[in-house]
Structure 1
Amino acid sequence: MEKIRWGILSTAKIGLEKVIPAIKRSRHGVVAAIASRAPGPAEEAAKMLGIEAAYGSYEELLADPDIDAVYNPLPNHLHVPVTLAAARAGKHVLCEKPIALTAAEAEELKSLPKDRLVMEAFMVRFHPQWLRLRDLVRSGELGEVKAVQSFFSYSNRNPDDIRNKAEIGGGGLYDIGCYPVTAGRFVFEAEPLRVVSLVERDPDFGTDRLTSALVDFGDGRRLDFTVSTQATPYQRVQVVGTKQRAEVLIPYNAPQGAETLLRLDDGSRLGEGAGTLETLPASDQYAEEADAFALAVMGKTELPYGVDDAIANMRVLDALFRSEKSNAWETVGG
């Protein structure tokens, strides 16, 4: 079976713990190299994970002619510049979310050659529970879908963590708020018209630590969500229609290689245990993402989504940040 050769840019935790093991389990990829800003961390990671090549700079990895595609999990402010460098070096790029700090910055990626593929790494889009959710919407089983609701939180007060550094793209909206925005766009299969947000910022870090938002998709469709970087860890997505609601119990950090549950509820019985639970097959959403990208790189399938989709997602985040400042509704893309 054909496989592409991946290079991993940095020894970021998500790469070491989630993405590299997933690519190693994937059908169409092999992790051939890893790079860090100094040789030591890359060599240590390569030895630990059985990766054949280790580089002491990102430039060295990008110059390797045997690397087909790179995974870019660098801090948010480096997503666009390093993705540009990688693509201009002839590599295809799977870039972690958010793909940029603004939609205007993401627009720079449209300057790349059309034969270099770039995809934002929203692994959730490849998980069976998300695909089942969208099928329920498309089939009409939920009725007319009116609302998508989500809550996503974790607790992190570490001042050294990049997610708590505002100057390089830290904060809740960039880190996890992008997921509910993606959920709304994925379920409605449409782009929102306007947004309003309420943001609380950490007095020490300057990052948004508690953000709530209302996102209007028009025609009576809305997304509302809250994300926090300093609250009890929790996550849910529910999609409410005129006939039923569907609730995804672990929508974002689904356990790799495990079954997941989706609740369907017609409202006929209230309280704990209402509705029925549907078991979704065991899946590794990171491996599925890697395979979807690899097949597109090999020309076997079309890229599931590309730079234009990433720009559309960033336009929503831009509008939410503008609403924080204006205390008013803001037009998406306005």
Structure 2
Amino acid sequence: MATNKKVRWGVLSTAAIGVKKVIPAMQLGQLSSVTAIASRDLTKAREAAGPLGIATAYGSYEELLADPDVDAIYNPLPNQLHVPWTIKAAEAGKHVLCEKPVSLTVAEAETLLAVRARTGVKIGEAFMVRTAPQWVRLRELLREGRIGELRSIMGAFSYFNIDPANIRNQMETGGGAMMDIGCYLVQASRFAFEQEPTRVVSLIDRDPQMKTDRLTSAILDFPHGQAIFTCSTQIVPYQRVQFLGTKGRIEIEIPFNAPIDRPTRLFLDLGGDLFGAGITTETFPTCDQYTVQGDAFSRAILDNTEVPVPVEDAIKNMAVIEAIFQSAVSGGWAEPKR
């Protein structure tokens, strides 16, 4: 579809993640250009468009989808609107990069397979970590066997937010720790093992008023090892992931919210010395992982290749999340839907 050098992107809504993080980053891309933005309020769209250098503002999502000068859509709408508007965008002939989690359930995510087949567009989930340099390097080190055989993954991701007006704390919009940040820990475990867990078990503590999961811990049982993690919306902000093998360990210092103003670091420990004598540090040049994500998706459009996180992968990630919720209710192991 795109005949120009850059893919022309339109953005559905003035959601904070788009306006503050993703759009500014995509505007720096070599293959991406955000040319239009839509809100249900034209004034809001115009107010967002100006500072971001976006040429066109629309007062409805439908107008954006009808724009022939838009090749692809970035969808950062609330979670419950991801699938409905991704379908509408695809039916309008637009490729879609949908913010994570792509859906609220496995069944909902699966509907995107038929839509993609019928429309012929590319649909992907916006797990920006999948193309980030530190995560690409992690996979290289694991495949090279630098830490022997990967056997265990330990992760934590948390922040503190008790505002009931915040979308992350609302059940109807798919809020809660698991959907907002736990999904990254599931993605990281599947990415590192390059397998799917056969079963999961979990514990969930829900906020008594908001009903969202405010503290979730899980064990994921993979054919080659285990992953354990804790995620929370109501404890001290923190994130770290450790990958333990038979001969060494890898630690990603800031795995998910990688800074855009300083390099990121990965620690490779091959000595097993508890005081860190065997640790070497790999440093990655400052970059914006949202810029990398945008260009990777744009390249897939321009070259007609697979997007970094296709619908099939999104469904598998959601299957694990769904099983984690099921386990918390049953009190036993649950198997992700195949």
State the TM-score, normalized to the length of structure 1: 0.97
Match of 2:213 in 1: 208
Match of 2:241 in 1: 237
Say whether 1:185 aligns with 2:169.
no
Pairwise CA distance, 1:299: 2.5
The aligned amino acid for 2:281 is L
| Pair 270,228 (structure 1): closer, same or farther in 2 beyond 3 Å | same
Pairwise CA distance, 1:113: 3.9
Superposition pairs of residues 274-293 of structure 1, within 5 angstroms: 275-293=279-297
Say whether 1:59 aligns with 2:62.
yes
Q: Write the deviation string for residues 221-260 of structure 1: whole angstroms up to 9, x where unpaired.
A: 1110000001110000110001110000000000125311
Unaligned runs of 5+ in 1: none
| Pair 73,273 (structure 1): closer, same or farther in 2 beyond 3 Å | farther
Match of 1:50 in 2: 53
Matched residues in 2 for 1:30 and 1:4: separation?
A: 6
The aligned amino acid for 1:306 is P
CA contact (8 A) 2:146 2:248 kept: yes
Matched residues in 2 for 1:258 and 1:32: separation?
A: 28
The aligned amino acid for 1:49 is L
CA contact (8 A) 2:130 2:309 kept: no
CA contact (8 A) 1:258 1:284 kept: no
- Structure 1: 4+ residue segments shifted above 2 A: 266-269, 271-274, 299-305
Match of 2:267 in 1: 263
User: Cα RMSD over matched residues?
Assistant: 1.3
Superposition pairs of residues 165-176 of structure 1, within 5 angstroms: 165-176=170-181
Pairwise CA distance, 1:71: 0.4
Q: 1:117 aligns with which of 110, 122, 145?
A: 122
Pairwise CA distance, 1:65: 1.0
Q: 1:81 aligns with which of 81, 84, 90?
A: 84
User: How many residues align structurally?
Assistant: 333
Pairwise CA distance, 1:40: 1.2
Q: Write the deviation string for residues 52-110 of structure 1: whole angstroms up to 9, x where unpaired.
A: 00011111111111110010000000000010000001110000000000010001101
CA contact (8 A) 2:11 2:34 kept: yes
Deviates most, 107-116 or 205-214: 107-116
Secondary structure at 2:215's aligned position in 1?
strand
Unaligned runs of 5+ in 2: none
Match of 1:312 in 2: 316
The aligned amino acid for 1:308 is E
Match of 2:160 in 1: 155
The aligned amino acid for 1:20 is I
Say whether 1:323 aligns with 2:327.
yes
Match of 2:73 in 1: 70
CA contact (8 A) 2:36 2:54 kept: yes
Secondary structure at 1:283's aligned position in 2?
coil
| Pair 60,273 (structure 1): closer, same or farther in 2 beyond 3 Å | farther
Secondary structure at 2:204's aligned position in 1?
strand
Matched residues in 1 for 2:116 and 2:185: separation?
A: 31
Pairwise CA distance, 1:197: 0.5
Match of 1:302 in 2: 306
The aligned amino acid for 2:39 is S
Match of 1:39 in 2: 42
CA contact (8 A) 1:145 1:241 kept: yes
Pairwise CA distance, 1:174: 0.3
Matched residues in 2 for 1:21 and 1:93: separation?
A: 18
Secondary structure at 2:27's aligned position in 1?
helix
Q: Write the deviation string for residues 118-157 of structure 1: whole angstroms up to 9, x where unpaired.
A: 0000000111110111111100011011011100001111
Matched residues in 2 for 1:258 and 1:181: separation?
A: 26
Match of 1:13 in 2: 16
Pairwise CA distance, 1:300: 5.1
The aligned amino acid for 1:276 is T
Secondary structure at 2:46's aligned position in 1?
helix
Say whether 1:26 aligns with 2:26.
no
Q: Write the deviation string for residues 269-315 of structure 1: whole angstroms up to 9, x where unpaired.
A: 22367622211222221111111111111135432331111001000
Pairwise CA distance, 1:266: 2.7
CA contact (8 A) 2:126 2:309 kept: no
The aligned amino acid for 1:275 is I
Matched residues in 1 for 2:330 and 2:11: separation?
A: 40
